[in-house]
Structure 1
Amino acid sequence: MAPSIRWAVGHIGAYAPIISPRFDHLVLIVDACDNVALHLAGTPNNPNMPAMRVEECRGYDLWQLRHLTTNAQLYVCERATLPTTADRGKRRPIPRRRSGMADPLTEVELAMLAAVPEISPPMKRLLAGLWVRMSLRDPGGTFHLGGWFNDPLYRKPGRAHWASDCRLWGYHGRWDLEWRGYPFPDDLVAALTHPVAGITGATATRTSARSWVIRLAEAELHLHDREL
C-alpha cells in the first residue's frame, strides 16, 4: 500500500495545462500562472514539490523555477498573454513567503525526497511520459486527457470530477497508478501508446475489466480504474 505522501501538485490540471517537454527544461502553459508557479514552489515549511524554487519572475506572465537537486528548469507561462504582452519585460520581486534560490533544502524536503523509492530508467520514461501528456488530445476526437480534471469531449456518462484517493507508488521497474475521475482509462491507455504521440516502444495489455499494464522494456506501469 502506498504511504500517505502528498506533494500537492496534482490539482494543477484545473488550470488547463499545456506541457512542452524539453530535457531539463519543462515549459508549463496554464491559466493563472502566478497561482501555479507559487504553489509549485511552496514555502520552506510547507513544500508542495520538494527542492523546487522560484528563480526569477519575468513579468506577470512568466515564472522561472529551478529544482535544486537536479538543476532542472521549469517555466510557468500564462496562456492568455502568449505570445505577446505589455508586461513581458517588467520584473517583480519574488514573494518572500515562497521558497527562492537562497533557501537551502529543509529537513522536511530532505525527508520527502528520501522517501521516494528507486525508479528504473525505463520507468522514469513512463512516469515522465505520463506527466507531460496530461492534456494530450487526439485532433480526431477519439480521446482527450483533459488535464486529469474534466472531459472536454463531454461524453456520457461522465466520471467523478475530483477524487482525493488517487495514488501512484512502486519500486524500480514496477509501479501502480490507481485513480477515480478523469481521465477515462481508455483515453489514458491510448495517449501513452499512440503510434505518433505516445511513448515510443510502450505497449498496453488489459489484465481485467478495470486494470491495464503499460510496458516499456522491463518496466511495468499498472493502471487501476477505481471509479465507483
Structure 2
Amino acid sequence: MNNGILPAAAAGFVTGLSLIVAIGAQNAFVLRQGVRRQAVLAVVGICAVSDAVLIALGVAGLGAVVTAWPAALTAVGLAGGGYLICYGILATRRVLRPADGQGLTTRGASTGSVRTAVLTCLAMTWLNPHVYLDTVLLLGSVAADRGPLRWVFGLGAVLASVVWFTGLGYGARLLSGALAGPTAWRILDGLVAATMLAMGALLLARTL
C-alpha cells in the first residue's frame, strides 16, 4: 500500500496490542470464560466492540473531554474498584469452598450464567477508568500524530483487540484437559481472585 497506510495500520495494531495484552481483570475473566466454554462469544464480542467504541472516541479526539471530567473518573474508579473486589471475594470463596463436582463437567451455559457473564464483562470494561485513560487518551494522542491516517491507525488498534480477545477466549479451551479436575480449577480461581483483588485495591488506592 502507498502513502503510509500499511505502516499506520501496523503501528495501530502494535500499539493497541501493547495496551491490552498485559494480564488484568478483563483478560483473567475472558480466560476463565474461555476455559469453561461459557458465554465465550458474548464475552469476546463485548470486549472487542467496547474497545472499538473507545478507540473510535479516542481517534475522534475526545481525550480532552476525559481529562476534563476528573470527578467522573473518580466515580468510575470507585465503582470499578468495588466491583472487582467483590468479584475477587466470590472467586476466593470458590477456592475455599468449591462446589461439588467442580470442573469442566459443570460448565453448562444457562441463561443465568450468560446474563451474569455479560454483566460482569460490561462492568469490568466500562467501570475501569484506566480504559478511558489508556484507550481514549493515550491511544487517541498517538493516533493524532498520524494526521489524516489516524483512522487507519485506529482500525489497526481495533483489529488487534479483535485478534487478542478472540484468541484468548477461544484459545483458552486448549487448557481444558489440564483444568478438567477440581484442584486445577481451584488454582485458576485462585489466580483470578488474586488478580481481581489486586486490581480492585489498586483502582481504589489510585482513586481515593
Q: TM-score range by the shorter chain?
A: under 0.3
Q: Which of the pair is proportionally richer in helix? A: 2
Give the TM-score normalised by structure 1.
Answer: 0.24
Higher relative contact order (CA 8 A, sep 6+): 2
